[in-house]
Structure formats: structure tokens, C-alpha cells
Amino acid sequence: MNIKSKSTKELEQIAQDIRNRIIEVVSCNGGHFSSTLGAVELTLGMHYVFDVKQDPFIFDVSHQCYPHKLLTNRWDEFSTLRQFGGLSGFTKPKESEADYFVAGHSSTSISLAVGAAKAIKLKGESRVPVVMIGDGSMTSGMIYEALNELGDRKYPVVIILNDNEMSIAKPIGAISKHLSKMLAGKTYQGFKEKVDNFLKKNFPDGTTYLAKRFEESIKLITPGLLFEEMGIDYIGPIDGHNIEEIIDTLDIAKNMGKPVIVHAKTTKGKGYSKAEGCHEHWHGVGPFDAESGEFIKKATAKSATAVFSDKLLDMAKKYENIVGVTAAMPSGTGIDKLISEFPSRFWDVAIAEQHAVTSMAAMAKEGFKPFITIYSTFLQRGFDQIVHDVCLMNLPVVFAIDRAGIVGNDGETHQGVYDISYLRFIPNMVLIAPRDTASLEYALEFGYKCKSPCAIRYPRGAYETLEYDATPFELAVSELLKDGKDDILFIGYGTGVAKAINTAKLIDKDIAILDLKFVKPLDIKMLEKLSLEYKKWYVFSDSQAQGGVGSAILEFLSQKQITDIKLKTFEYDDIFIQHGDTKDVERDLGVTPEQLARLVISKS
């Protein structure tokens, strides 16, 4: 859509049309909602001032990119948003050349812009990278690493800081505290006293008004001080919903020829009154009725996250040394309940996974029992800290890995299928996966008692109800749920146990079923015993094949020189798994119980 020749009134109408389209589609499909509604005018300004065919358009996280998609020839296709085979909920270059980079994790945008600016300079081109970043992403240390270099190198980059007052208080808050101390000091107070005396002497009738304006001026420059001190020019705050002001400001910033931050104040959910403001539950939504704002709820069992939250809360009441942390996902991980109950023992450290891990390592060193609760896909961001600060010291930290496995509509950037592979090779790490709700509770009790680093993975949504009663976890002890008369052993890990059970029911054979429980350390005695009884082993786990559960078992067989076992793993191939409803994704991957049963039968 070419908007460069449009008048302000025409742009305002386009903004309304974009909002209507977003409400229409997201109310049916679900997706990121309030953040993207709040970024409509800013996105229009980007497309008006910059050239999307030339200038890199970089969206941080990119959950606010729906207006960008609608402005880049995806209006009709937008109805497929987050559906299997349809548009991604994030930017995706394979989907459109207008999408500069894949984005789904926070705080990568300014680093990307710095890299793009370096390349542009080396090529001798005049393109200008433009970034849209939300205030929440400013809580990550990676942003300041990038700003530090950008302020030194002075590459032309325009950064639009979309400030909807959701999270910026955290990074700016610390600076404000420092400034508060400074402003309370003798130097400032002496300066302020002189100003007050001058005002009283020369403007006796306007003293109160002028003093108030003076204080407001000090407050106004507070956010800008951070960036100016780093060598980044600062403009703002501006009204992030005033199209004319946005265009004028971005045009100035583009032509400055150096790094500039444009601070825009916006309202999340703008244009849909029920979502306007700081309402976390409108950030990412499921289907809802657009007129009433009522969410369309399906009757579901208690989620694994809720089970974790309730159990850990009970344990925290019992064990006073339990502490915990999450990284900007308090409600998503269920830690919000514990923060509310024990604010001095549980923390949200914002988008700072590295800091979360290392700070809890120190608490473990001091005798506390930390539970680090982070989504599988985000825990990747703290990998070095897991290795260097937790496992090397063999500290008894528990990693509660939420959203492990396929997570559905968020797609490639969020699928939690790699945690087994990237944690299993680290010395001292213990890896376990509960098969159902009751075993998750047992796993948390085991984690509390474990003397080494321990990772517990559990899925998004609810576990299936199984016919086998859960039993407590003992280190490196698996559980044979069912003997078999035939030559087949199904090995399940975590949610893979339910899939193994459901697959076995579709096969006319008497199949043995093992709940592995631990992928590290393995139950060597049980596996050696079963290798004498069953020669065809099938592995079920909601994880990547490379370095996964099947790999662990193959390593065991190799070390023990057991050569007569035929092993087939039903873990995922060496691909990034696309977005869509989980059942559709599993069907595409060929891992539904019906599909797996046919494979087993064909090999029997």
C-alpha cells in the first residue's frame, strides 16, 4: 500500500481501517492485540518517511508488526494469521521481503540495526535502518550493549521507542532513583535555592507557576539523559498517535545522519476501549467476541503451569529457603502468585534471563533453594550462565521449564523443543520430565531435595489424564508402566508417555511401556534388563531428535556394546517447526498416535 501521497486525514482513516482489520482477525484467530493496536500510527509514520523496499524495518520481538503486514500487501491474507500454513504472528522474511528479519525474542533489534548500519556504510549506500522497540524490551542488557557501540560509532539509525508505560519504569526507575539522590544533594539544592530567590525577586506574581515549570523541565529530560550520555541523540516524548507529529519528527530524525531515539508515548489497545491501558491480559489473546470483549473460553483441565504454581506456593510456605525468579513472565509462568504471597522471596527481573540465572546461582551458594521459571525457548538466552555459573559450581538450582515441546501458533521462535539437547551435555545437570499432573508435583518435591542442578520440563496447557498412578521421583529410577508379551518396548519421556500409551492402544500387540522419567542420568539397570526382553525400542518425546532422548539411549547402548536393539525415535527432525494449531503441526510432522501406530505396524 503506497501511503506517501496521502493527506493526514487519509492516513487517519487508514489507521482506523487497520485497527478494524486487526480486531476482526485477532478476535477470531487470537494473537498479540493491545501492543499492535498501540503501534498503528507509528507504523504508518515509518512507512511514510522511510522506504520499506530499501531501508531495513526492524521490529523488536515483532508482536507489534500486524499494521506493517497490512501495509505490505498482506491485507487479504491476514485472515490466515497464526493459522497452519498462514501468516506468522511475527516478522518473517520468507513471508515477505518487507520483513527484514525473523523476530520473536526480545531485545535483538538495535544489535540488528547496528549490524545493518555497518554493512550499509561498507557498501557506500544511503539507506537508514529504522527500529521500533517497546519499552518492555528496554529491560534487557543486550539493548545497552548495542546502544553502547552505536553511541560510539555514530552510525545513522533511527530508533522509535514505543513507550506505553508497561515496563519502561523499570530501567528508567533505577536512573530516576539516582537522579532523585542527585537532586536532593547540596549542589542541586543550592542551585534550586538561587533559582527560587531569583524568581521571587524578579517575578513575584508568577513564582509558583515558574517553579512548577522548572521542576517539570527537570523531569522531562530524565529519560533522555540515559541515551544522551550514551551518545545517542534523543527527541521526545512525542504523541505516538498524532500522525502529523510522528511524520515530522521521523523526517527530522532520518536526516540527522546519526543515531537518534524518538521517544513516542502511546496507549496499548488504542482504538479498542476495553483493551486500552495497562491490561496484561489483552497483550496476547485467544479468540474473543469483538463487540462484548468477552473471551471465548473452552472447558479445559488445569494447566501444567497452574499445577506448578500451586504446588510451588505450597512448598514455599513449608520450606522457607525456597526462592524464585522469572524473566518478564510472572503470569505466564504462574510466579505472580508467589510474588504476591512472598514479595521478598520471589522476583520478576524483567527481560534479563542471564541475570536471572546468575543471581539465583549466588542465592544457592548462600544456602537458598532457587526455582528459576522460564519458558523453554527463552531459557536459551541464559545458556552460558547455566553452564558457567550454575553447573560448573554444581549448585542446587531448579530450572522449571515451562512451555516445553510444541507450543502451537507462535511458531518457530517459540517452540520449546531444544531444552533437552542444550542441557543434557552439561556436567552435573539432572534432567527429568513428569508425565502428568500428579507426577509434576512429585517432580517439584524431588527438585527441592536434589543436591545438583535440576531441570524439570512441562508442557503448555494441560496434561492428559492417564490410567497409571504417579509415583515419587528417585534419582535415575524409571518406571515400567506395563510389561509386554511381544518384542516391542515403547519408551516415553514427559508428555511422550501419554503419546506412547495412546499409540499402543491402536496396535494389536502386547507392548511394554516405560516411563523414562530421567533422561540424565538414565536408569541403566532398567534399560539393561529391558534390553534382554525387548529388541524393538521406540522413543516418544516432545523434543528435538539431535541430542535428545533417543540419542541418550543410543549412547547407552553403544557404551554397553548392546548391538541387537533396533531403536527408532519419534522426536522431531532437524528443522524449525512452523506455527499453527498443535494438532495440525503434529499431523504435518507425522507424529499423531494414528500416524505413529502405522509406522510401528509397518516395521513389525
Catalytic residue IDs:
268, 353, 381
Buried b (16+ CB within 10 A) or exposed e, 204-214: eeeeeebbeee
Q: Name the DSSP letter for residue 470.
A: P
Question: Is the peptide bond between 521 and the residue preceding it cis, with omega within 30 degrees of 0?
Answer: yes
The SS3 call for residue 479 is strand
φ/ψ bin of 88: left (φ > 0), alpha (ψ from -120 to 50), beta (otherwise): beta
- Which three three-digit cell numbers place residue 98? 518487507
Distance, in Å, from the CA atom of 534 to the CA atom of 565, rounded to the nearest integer, reads 8
Question: In this structure, are residues 402 and 430 in contact, taking their beta carbons and an 8 Å threshold?
Answer: no
Q: How far apart are CA 293 and CA 282, in angstroms?
A: 10
H/E element holding 237? strand 233-239
Residues composing the chain? 604
Give the three cell numbers for residue 576. Answer: 524449525
Cα–Cα distance list, 253 to 6, 99, 257 (Å): 21, 22, 8
Helices of type H across 450-536: 496-504, 524-533
Name the phi and psi angles at 428, rounded to 5: 80, -10
Centroid of chain to Cα 59: 15
Q: What is the DSSP string of 124-164?
A: T-----EEEEEGGGGGSHHHHHHHHHHHHH----EEEEEE-
